[in-house]
Structure 1
């Protein structure tokens, strides 16, 4: 999916096409007290026709938009149980469900300390990089930020890995790393990159966990999200499956913020501060 070509149909709650379609789908299937509302991709076509709205060129973009870019219409949000929000989960090929979740999206903590990293991005990459997720992933890769964040020696294996997962349908992750730690244990890191208006959504992390279980059952799975807070400031998150909740969900196990700076901008005071931290923390 070309994320630079998101449809002009998304916008405010008031009358935009995406909001009208998703609201009609939800209200047609919702009954008071429900915490799961199922629907199919064909419903997008059905309700677009009934509302006399031009069908989106990419039906999947409507789902993507409400997962990662814009809020659900107020009529849907108000129907969520107290303390929960709706997420849109895949439940099979071209099948979805609104599910009430205690956590819907993950945002960087603005009060977290920032660690300076000497920027190792090649100059020619800086000259020609584009302002998208791939540019963020390139900076993460050249600076070995997955290694730094996890403490594991990592190798980028594949970009845009797609797989079909039972009960979910097709899922995709932005980049896949494999790694090795000092014990000899093998890891797999599925990395999602977000920048601009895109948000880290719990559903995408759940999909990564499911993909790990299906494709790499013998490796230690750690889903990662890299979120560009500013051009040279990245929030890194690590997750695990939340096995203590009554619902399928995830927990944040680590969050750190890294600022890429020229090497001469890291002061002796910075180095002394970093040295006081435990090396394996």
Structure 2
């Protein structure tokens, strides 16, 4: 199935499901639904749906909800546990937009030549660039140390999440920090959502309650141009 047709079919599915929920609950701030309802909606529309969770993922990480949904107000999709989701009202965009006019800070590239030669140009390659160049230390002015990568865990009321990278840090005054990282690929469709940053904080509060949390988001614009937020 081509991506354009998939997007169109996903629009049809999510719009149909939203309208069914909204018509009798238009004053509610949350409209709950399940993975089974996504499957049922696809069947009602005669759409062959091979990966139901990808419908939700698309509108959480790749693109905004269809215009007919947003015409009723601001909405985002939020997980509510295994196989459960909700349309939630919001006053802001689902995605974080990088501020224009940011100044570039040049540093010496510490990535080994052989690593730079063979590393992939995606979020995994980005994490390598960040680690070799100690960009987290530079960005936060904290001495940071890598703990773990690709942590898959469950947080209360959200369900399963994945943390791309995790650092621990300590500042000059001895304060200790936990720094979860969300990394994105250069692809314009790979967007950073507010919910992802919120999940970094929830994860830190749940698993490292005694440490100060500094969530980090990373998005590359070019091979050697990285924006940290």
TM range (shorter): over 0.9
The alpha carbon displacement at 1:8 in A equals 3.9
Question: Equivalents in 2 of 1:123, 1:227: separation in Å?
Answer: 22
1:40 matched to 2:40: no
The alpha carbon displacement at 1:209 in A equals 1.1
Residue 199 of structure 2: aligned partner: 207
Question: Equivalents in 2 of 1:207, 1:100: separation in Å?
Answer: 18
Please state whether the residue corresponding to 1:177 is helix, strand or coil.
strand
Task: Report the more deviating stretch, 182-191 or 97-106.
Answer: 97-106
Q: 157, 163, 171: which one pairs with 2:161?
A: 171
Question: Equivalents in 2 of 1:22, 1:73: separation in Å?
Answer: 8
Question: Equivalents in 2 of 1:79, 1:137: separation in Å?
Answer: 38
* RMSD value, Cα: 1.6
Moved over 2 A (4+): 7-13, 31-35
Residue 233 of structure 1: aligned partner: 225
Query: TM-score normalized by structure 2?
Result: 0.92
1:219-252 Cα offsets, whole Å, 9 max, x none, are 1111110011222111111xxxxxxxxxxxxxxx
Please state whether the residue corresponding to 2:48 is helix, strand or coil.
coil
Instruction: Number of aligned residue pairs: give it.
Output: 224
**Structure 2 matches for 1:99-138, cutoff 5 A?**
99-103=88-92, 104-138=94-128
Q: Structure 1: which 5+ runs fail to align?
A: 1-6, 238-281
In 1, are the aligned partners of 2:181 and 2:215 still within 8 Å (CA)? yes
Q: Structure 2: which 5+ runs fail to align?
A: none
The alpha carbon displacement at 1:72 in A equals 1.2
Please state whether the residue corresponding to 2:47 is helix, strand or coil.
coil
In 1, are the aligned partners of 2:201 and 2:213 still within 8 Å (CA)? yes
Q: Using a 3 Å threshold, how does the CA distance of structure 1 residues 11 and 71 change in structure 2: closer, same or farther?
A: farther
In 2, are the aligned partners of 1:9 and 1:17 still within 8 Å (CA)? no
In 1, are the aligned partners of 2:141 and 2:171 still within 8 Å (CA)? yes
Residue 26 of structure 1: aligned partner: 18
Please state whether the residue corresponding to 2:149 is helix, strand or coil.
strand
In 1, are the aligned partners of 2:77 and 2:85 still within 8 Å (CA)? yes
Question: Equivalents in 2 of 1:10, 1:25: separation in Å?
Answer: 20
In 2, are the aligned partners of 1:10 and 1:65 still within 8 Å (CA)? no
The alpha carbon displacement at 1:33 in A equals 2.9
Residue 76 of structure 2: aligned partner: 87
In 2, are the aligned partners of 1:106 and 1:200 still within 8 Å (CA)? yes
In 2, are the aligned partners of 1:10 and 1:18 still within 8 Å (CA)? no
Query: TM-score normalized by structure 1?
Result: 0.76
Please state whether the residue corresponding to 2:121 is helix, strand or coil.
coil
